[in-house]
Amino acid sequence: MSQAASILPEPAADVPAQPPRHVAIIMDGNGRWAASRHLPRVAGHREGARAVKRTVSAAIRHDVQWLTIYAFSSENWRRPAGEVMDLTGLLRQYLRTEIAELASNGVRIRFIGDRDRFDAGIRDDLAQAERATVGNTKLNLTVALSYGARAEILAAARAMGEAVRQGRLDTDALTEDAFAGFLSTDGIPDPDLIIRTSGEQRLSNFLLWQAAYAELVFLDVLWPDFGDEHFAAAMADFSRRERRFGARPG
C-alpha cells in the first residue's frame, strides 16, 4: 500500500473541460493505516480528519461545487464501543474547531443520516454548524453521518406513503423526481464521481439511489494518506470516462 502512488492512473495531459459538479468520497482505510504503523485505530481516524481538510481545499481548487463525504455509516455503530466513542469524540472536536475556517472559506456544510442516534450535544453542534454556514456558496459540503442508503430509501418510501394516505400526493405524481424529493439529499445533485480509498471496491450502503449513473474510481491509497495528487488523479480519470446514461454514444 505504501507504493499506492505508483499504481494511480496518470493524470490526463488535458485539463477536464467539464469537471464533475458533485464528487462523493467513501473515506476508507483509517484502521489499516494505523495498524501498518502499530498505532491504535484512533490515530488513523485522527489523521483521516486531516485528510478531510486537504480534500475540502482540493475540491475548491478544482471548482467542484458539491462534495459529499462518508464519515460514519449506520452499520459503523456495530463497531466496539471504544472505537465508536473515539469517532464521536473526534467528530465533536472537528465541529468545534473547524467550522469557523470552513465558514470563512465559503463552505456550506450539511449533514445527512440519522442524527437522532447521536447525543444532544452533538446534535446541537451539527445544527449550529449548518446554521453558521447556511449563506455560503463556494462549496457545498455534505457529511454523511450515521448514514445508510437503505434506511434513507425506506424512510423516503414511508414518508411518500404517508403523503399519499393524507391526500397530499396523488399516486399519479409518484415519479422518480418526486421520490428523490423525499430523500435526505433533496436539492443536492446526484454525484457525478464517487471515489473510494483503501482498495475496497464496494459502495457499503452509500448513496445507492443517487449513485445510479456515477462514475466510480477506486484508489489504492489509505484515507489518511489521501492528498491533492489523489484528488487530481481521480478527476483526470473522470475526464477520460464517456458518460452515456443508457443512450448510444454520439
Residue 66: contacted member of Mg ion, ligand IPE, none (CB under 5 to 8 Å, by partner type): none
Residue 131: contacted member of ligand IPE, Mg ion, none (CB under 5 to 8 Å, by partner type): none
- Is the CB of 184 or the CB of 198 nearer to ligand IPE? 198
Residue 144 main-chain phi, psi, to 5 deg: -90, 115
214/72 Cα distance (integer angstroms): 21
What is the 3 state secondary structure string of 62-97?
A: CCCCEEEEEEEEHHHHHCCHHHHHHHHHHHHHHHHH
What cell does 197 get?
480509498
- Is the CB of 69 or the CB of 236 nearer to ligand IPE? 69
The alpha carbon torsion through 38, 93, 79, 43 (nearest 10 deg) reads -10
- Is the CB of 68 or the CB of 197 nearer to Mg ion? 197
Residue 32 makes contact with ligand IPE by CB under 6 A: yes
The answer to whether residue 76 is catalytic is yes
Residue 92: contacted member of Mg ion, ligand IPE, none (CB under 5 to 8 Å, by partner type): none
Per DSSP, 7 falls in state G
Per DSSP, 194 falls in state E
- CB 119, min distance to Mg ion, A: 24
- CB 1, min distance to ligand IPE, A: 10
Binding site for ligand IPE (CB under 6 A): 26-32, 70-73, 76, 87, 198, 200, 202, 204, 223
| Residues known to be catalytic | 28, 76
